[in-house]
Amino acid sequence: MTTEPSVDPKERKLRRRRRASSLREKRVLLARRASKAYGDLVAVAPLNLSIRAGERVALVGHNGSGKSTLLRLTAGLLDLTGGRIEVCGAAAGSSEARAAVSFLPDDPVLYDDLNVREHLAYIAALHGVQAELDSFDDLLGRIGLLHRADDLPARFSRGLRQKTSIALALVRPFQLLLVDEPFIGLDAPGKEALLGLLDDAHQGGATVVVATHDPLYVERVDRCVALRDGHVIHDGPATPDEVLGLVGG
């Protein structure tokens, strides 16, 4: 009979802490009883969610289910009412979390006085990527925006503004890409290009979370999280038909 060598309690505590820390590192997104309310309107009920590095997740739900709110809370754009959200071990909205998260919103917000290239250079610089104005041609070409690269997005259509926003989300480093209703306003080639770029980002090692109404998108992901009235009602693999059932389609 062998006996386990006795371990110093301090050492045990240290090991436990290291183990927890390494688990946290693998978790790119960790929500613990995260909630958001506007007065007596609950947008996100206390919610627990853990997403590991390299996962590709679809966030589905009907209108008002809390998808966009959850993404904005994670990006740090909204203040939590309760609970906590961590991105790569740092509190959402902190400097470390902001460096790790790229948020592609459903409403493109752009500067009036910068053209597309300048936008890209500016955002890249704000994230520590030093690049020349013509070094974005590959990315712009892939989303079909190269011919408008020197134009002001203020004069663009909704779809072109969305494409500019996509480019801005991908021009900077990130570990977690949050995408909110990305296909709105995009033409068929634009949608195909975006799907390709999301695949590439995932293959490049990033975790990708996409909030969408498109049930077909769940075929491309490993995991589907369905929300209803701010609660998680499904977490795991799902087929498009199951998604339609979950979100009441």
Partner 1 sequence: MLLPVADPDADLEQSLAHWRRYRKRRRIADIDWVDALYRADLTALLGGAAIYALAGIIGGERLTTQELHWVATNGADCLGVVVALVLAVGLRSGSRGGPLVLEHADVRHVLLAPVDRTTALRGPALRQLRFLAFVAALVGLVVGVLAARRLGPPVAAWMGSSALFTVATVALGYGAALVAAAVRLPSWIGTALGVALVGVAVADAVDAVEGSPLTAWGHLGLWPDAFSPQLVVALIATLAVLGVGFARVGDVSLEAAERRSTLVGQLRFAATLRDLRTVIVLRRQLALELPRLRPWLTVKVRGTSRFPVWTRGWQGVLRWPAARMGRLVLLAAVAGLALRGVWEGITPLLILAGLALYVAGLDAVEPLAQEVDHPSRSQSFPVVRGSLQLRHLAVAVTTMLVVATVAAAAGLLVEPTASGALVAAACIVPAALGGVGGAAFSTLSDPLAAGGGDGGWSLVAPETAGMVLAVRTALPPALAIGGTLPLLAARAAFDDGASAVDAASTAGVAVLVGFGLVAVWVRAREELRARWEASLEHTFPSRK
- What residues line the site for partner 1 (CB under 8 A)? 38-41, 75-79, 93, 95-96, 98-99, 101, 103, 105, 109-111, 113-114, 122-130, 168, 170-174, 197, 200-201, 203-206
**Starting from the edge strand earliest in sequence, which strands make up the sheet with 231-236, in order?**
101-104, 176-180, 207-211, 56-61, 223-228, 231-236
Q: Which is nearer to partner 1, 7 or 126 (CB)?
A: 126
Q: Which is nearer to partner 1, 63 or 130 (CB)?
A: 130
Q: Which helix (H) or strand (E) holds 27?
A: strand 27-38
Least CB distance to partner 1 at residue 238 (A): 27
Least CB distance to partner 1 at residue 235 (A): 27
Least CB distance to partner 1 at residue 234 (A): 26
Q: Which is nearer to partner 1, 105 or 185 (CB)?
A: 105
Q: Which is nearer to partner 1, 104 or 238 (CB)?
A: 104
Least CB distance to partner 1 at residue 186 (A): 18
Least CB distance to partner 1 at residue 193 (A): 11
**What is the secondary structure of 116-162 as a DSSP string?**
HHHHHHHHHHHTT----GGGGHHHHHHTT-GGGTTS-GGGS-HHHHH
Q: Which is nearer to partner 1, 61 or 76 (CB)?
A: 76
